[in-house]
Amino acid sequence: MEEDLRSLLQDLESLKGCVSDRHRIGSIDEMKQRVVSIVNLTKSGATRRSKVKDMSAEVVDSNPYSRLMALQRMGIVQNYERIRDFSVAIVVRAPAVIGIGGVGSVAAEMFTRHANSLSIASQPFFQYAEVGMTKTDAAVQTLSDINPDVVLEACNELGQTWMESGVSEDAVSGHIQLLVPGETACFACAPPLVVASGVDERTLKREGVCAASLPTTMGVVAGLLVQNALKYLLKFGHVSPYLGYNSLKDFFPTMEMRPNPQCSNNACVERQKEYLQTKPARDAAAKGKLEAESSENEGPLHMDNEWNISVVDDSEMDTLNSCGVSGALPEGLIHELPTAEKYHESLATEEAKTVEDDLEELQRQLDALNAS
Q: CB of 371: closest distance to other proteins in angstroms?
A: 9
Query: Which of 17, 284, 347, 349 touches other proteins by CB under 8 A?
Result: 347
268 in catalytic set: no
198 is a contact residue toward other proteins (CB under 8 A): yes
Helix, strand, coil shares of the chain, percent, nearest 5, are 50, 10, 40
349 is a contact residue toward other proteins (CB under 8 A): no
Question: Which C-beta is closer to other proteins: that of 83 or that of 139?
Answer: 139
Separation CA 269–CA 186 (nearest Å): 10
Task: With beta carbons less than 8 A apart as the criterion, state whether 144 and 205 touch.
Answer: no
244-254 CB burial, b ≥16 within 10 A, e <16: bbebeeeeeee
Q: Beta strands 87-94 and 117-124: pairing type?
A: parallel
2 is a contact residue toward other proteins (CB under 8 A): no
Residue 14 burial by Cβ neighbours in a 10 Å radius (0-12, 13-18, 19+): exposed
Q: CB of 183: closest distance to other proteins in angstroms?
A: 22
Q: CB of 366: closest distance to other proteins in angstroms?
A: 5
Stretch touching other proteins by CB under 8 A, among 28-36, 198-206, 233-241, 330-338: 198-206
362 is a contact residue toward other proteins (CB under 8 A): yes
234 Cβ neighbours under 8 A, 6+ residues apart: 77, 78, 79, 80, 82, 83
Question: Across-strand partners of 134?
Answer: 87
x/- contact string, 27-66, with other proteins (CB under 8 A)?
Answer: ----------------------------------------
Taking the chain, what is the end-to-end CA distance rounded to the nearest angstrom? 73
Query: Which of 19, 150, 212, 340 touches other proteins by CB under 8 A?
Result: 150
Q: Residue numbers of the site for other proteins (CB under 8 A)?
A: 147, 149-150, 153, 195, 198, 200, 202, 264, 266, 347, 350-351, 354-355, 357, 359, 362-363, 365-367, 369-370, 372
Q: Which residues are catalytic?
A: 210
